[in-house]
Chains A and B, each alone.
Chain A
């Protein structure tokens, strides 16, 4: 399956799961809103240029926004992690050239600790951005911090479950 086709299917699945499963479950607690769709952006291939990464992130966010009737809200958060992603990959890359040996970020390509850091940092960035924009109208810092923390923990739990259930086969690419 080509990389493009796989990513399109992935985007559709992530958006559908977010809209029809996670957004439908009755509120667990006032501090918890689970998110998973942004994992699509974290899984995009290394080979993408930085501008195209931004465009894809923007479209991802906008797709979800059409369902939640809040145009621009998730798009803004997605563009933020799409912009920060290359910096973190450069920082956390274990040895020079992993981006040529593997197709996309995962526990095998980045190394377990690095991958956990990568996912958690970008999750925190996404949630902070999202809830800050949502909270512009009323300034309760305490509520904002707790909501970000609670949702981050639950989202990371979901990411772990997804990583365990769907093991992505990572081929070691060589020149030969």
Chain B
């Protein structure tokens, strides 16, 4: 199949690569750019493991083609923080045990990132609904809620002790 050139910004860097027009954004990020933190749990848009930010808003990278991201700005989990400099949400997920196997975690953190931007003071009831687009099979979600609440606390005061 003929390849086309895709140009987009990923995690703040301009990237250009060639791919088939049918290639999903998730496969492009993972295969062509080596960003394997974006996970594929269902490839039919339900589980949310492949969530990325497209121009700042959550999107399912398994349901988008790479060519649709042409000219847009994509943020993956690798763009939010690194092992050397983890994002506060990453710290909070670990501190509160908001993950077990970790497979859904990158997608969850990106969804939580969007949620906290819109709701800096998280509300447990609203969060239950707003985060329901990401499936976790391990945690039963309780400690994910606690992690998001803890991240909000850290965002107000990074030195704060768990309340």
Q: Do A and B bind each other?
A: no
Q: Which residues of A contact B (CB under 8 A)?
A: none
